[in-house]
Structure 1
Amino acid sequence: MSSQSTPKPPRIDGRRLRSERTKQLIIEAFLALVREDPKVPTAVLIAERAGCSVRSVFERFPDLNALHVAATDYALAQAAALAPARHVDGDRRTRVRSQVDTRARTCERGVALWRLLMNMQDESDELKARVRRAREVTMARLELMYKPELSTLPHEERRDLLVALEALTDIESWARMREQYGLPFEEASAVWTYAIDRLLPPTPTHG
């Protein structure tokens, strides 16, 4: 036999896996409850939905704020995974439509959690940081998708236009079109598409 022994596979800690699975179920339960009711769900409701005890909730999260932060991080990561930048090198029409469709679907999924974050952010610096980060990600996506048009503007005008585009495509803007004005998904998307196209400067031509 060789003097070199075959390395043993890493041992799987079943208890830890079960604990992580319970943690994930708690996060998913919180997000599901938020989508159903705009009020902050209690630990009892979260535990019931997750199929665990209230004690299990607080064994994995020191307090509800920690759960809110973890759920927000999970939702933001999920949104990023479901909404990659598409057609970045397409023509103007293609880029606008692609960005609007991606943003609209993100808003459609995330409006309930976003409203809860707006209500809770003043009570938590961590949540406030998540709100700021979400807006920075939106700004970065806008800058990426409309780089040709933005490149024609001086720095301050470019910044101001990005601010206007971010405000235009805010989640509450989407929710207002869908809820208050009753616009179908496609019509609300068309409103954004029209407005963005009007705001952007002419696309530079090359050659």
Structure 2
Amino acid sequence: MHEEIAEQQADITRLLLHHVHAPLIDTHYIRGILPVPPPAAAIRVATGANTAHTPEVLTAYEIPLRTNDDLVTAEDVTSILRTLHTGTRIYPSDSVSSVMGMTLVHVDPATVDVDAPTRDDNALTILRSIVHPFTEEEPDPRLRGFLFLEQDRLRLYLDTEEAPGVIAADVRPSGAITALLAALPSLITERGRMNEDRADPHCSVVVDLTDW
């Protein structure tokens, strides 16, 4: 069950990455996708302006990965988020909390009337399916989520067969990206680099690669 949750979190993350640059709607962009720890079957999507690079100015929405025994897809998450960002919404107090400095809204998909995918959404699905066809072979390490922490600090949530749990790797987008990506699989499993971040419930350990 836990692996099914991990696979779904990774799939949704992969399919929503383009919304780091392309708005969900109006001026709302995805600035983070957080893998909720098991046994909860959910994902958290943090949104804000495209200039937002710190959690304090973001709002995270926790969305269950199943509704009425049906799997929630990336397209469903997109539709839910667009609806939540349209107009003014008031949430019950018991559905609002906080995580990592962000306001956290627990979403009940049954209460959200979503619109059908747009023609551009469907066009993207067609194009993406051809360029990146589905394969059962998972990448290693596997991206489970991400979050902008600072102007030049991006946290990657990864898992790998070489280590248990979710590893958070902090990297500098302005750094030597090609070299970092080549070394990433081995760097995240080095025990000497691993530390705890008690403020982040989405990972087992944190590996700081910002000085690499």
Please indicate the TM-score interval, normalised by the length of the shorter structure: under 0.3
- Between Structure 1 and Structure 2, which shows a larger proportion of helix residues? 1
Normalising by structure 2, report the TM-score: 0.23
Q: Which has the larger radius of gyration?
A: 1
- Between Structure 1 and Structure 2, which shows a larger proportion of strand residues? 2
Normalising by structure 1, report the TM-score: 0.23
